Structure 1
Amino acid sequence: MDMEQNTQPWQEAPPNAAPPQKFCKHCGGRIPADAVICTLCGRQVEETAQATPNIVINNTNTNENINTMNAYMQAKARNKWVAVLLCFFLGGIGAHKFYEGKIGMGVLYIFTFGLFGIGILIDFITLLFKPNPYYV
Structure 2
Amino acid sequence: MICNRCGFDNPQDVHYCKQCGADLSAQAPSAPPPYQPQPNQWNPPPPNYYVQPSYPAYMEVISPSSRWVALILCIFLGTLGIHRFYVGKIGTGILYLLTGGAFGIGWIVDIIMIACGSFTDSYGAQLKQ
Q: Give 1 or 2 for the bigger CA radius of gyration.
A: 1
Structure with larger RCO (C-alpha < 8 A, sep 6+)? 2
TM over 0.5: no
Q: What is the TM-score when the length of structure 1 is the normalising length?
A: 0.42
Q: What is the TM-score when the length of structure 2 is the normalising length?
A: 0.44
